[in-house]
Amino acid sequence: MNSKERFSNRVDSYVKYRPSYPKEVIDYLYDTVGFSPNSEIADIGAGTGIFSALLLERGSHVTAVEPNKEMREAAEQKLGDDSHFRAVSGSAEMTGLPSESVDFIVCAQAFHWFDRTASRVEFKRILKPDGKVVLIWNSRLTHGTPFREDYDRLLHTFGTDYKQINHKNISPEILTAFFQPGAMHEARFANQQIFDFAGLSGRLLSSSYAPAPGHPDHESMMNELQRIFDRNQQDGHVSFDYETEVYWGEV
């Protein structure tokens, strides 16, 4: 499937069940990386605007670049009344933005979909001198509790191409090479969602590799999810745990 179309039929689940990002991450961007209320920021692969919203709360000017029409329209519906926000149809490889027009680029939960060589050229073009790129992921923890390990086994069993498109395939060497030599900085933060079974189901179905209703494996996957929930729930809830990873520097 074309990566730019993968989430077209999952927008509602994405909006409702995908995690936001910890306040500590946003504080880090403004206190350490150098973001400010005056910054012009391009949110590349902005999706439904989850990260754009957090930047707008700090007063920054945000251009959300998103190739998927359905996701872009969801971002516009949520954020379009903010005069500091605009959404454009474009990709990491061809943003359509003017040269030297943005102070920072953020890519939240998106960089693993990009053509890295082409996007690096495009990022260098649209960044102002000394501009910086920030790559961010909510990286789901897969070990350490029975629930984390059960859920990861579920994805390996039923995910249509989970192993191939998992963002953890982006190695430290690939990340380091994307930035100028010696320029990459790293930071990590804890993040968490608490779900009842309906929420857990929605979170699973927001993933592009999860068989959707009508797929031959969908019912079996949901039955197994129910068993996993029943084994691991406490007071009707499970904890969905992440490490939010931040990589930033000049390209």
The whole-number pLDDT of residue 1 equals 43
pLDDT in tens, 42-88: 999 999 999 999 999 999 999 999 999 988 999 999 999 999 999 99
Mean predicted confidence (pLDDT) in 15-30 = 93
Lowest-confidence segment of 6-20, 124-138, 190-204 by average pLDDT: 6-20
Cβ–Cβ under 8 Å, residues 161 and 132: no
The whole-number pLDDT of residue 10 equals 52
The whole-number pLDDT of residue 165 equals 58
Is the confidence at residue 7, as pLDDT, over 50?
no
pLDDT in tens, 29-43: 999 999 999 999 999
The whole-number pLDDT of residue 8 equals 44
Q: pTM of the full predicted structure?
A: 0.88
**Which domains, from first to last, does the chain contain?**
3-140+164-192+242-249 (3.40.50.150)
The whole-number pLDDT of residue 162 equals 78
pLDDT in tens, 103-159: 999 999 999 889 999 999 999 999 999 999 999 999 999 999 999 999 999 999 998
Lowest-confidence segment of 11-25, 158-172, 200-214, 233-247 by average pLDDT: 158-172
Is the confidence at residue 6, as pLDDT, over 60?
no
Label residue 4 by pLDDT band (50, 70, 90): very low
pLDDT in tens, 200-236: 999 999 887 889 899 999 999 999 999 999 999 999 9
> What's the rounded Cα separation, in Å, for the pair 69 and 63?
15
CA dihedral of residues 158, 161, 165, 171 (deg, nearest 10): 80
Label residue 2 by pLDDT band (50, 70, 90): very low
Q: What is the DSSP string of 185-235?
A: EEEEEEEEEEE-HHHHHHHHHTSTTSPPTTSTTHHHHHHHHHHHHHHH-BT
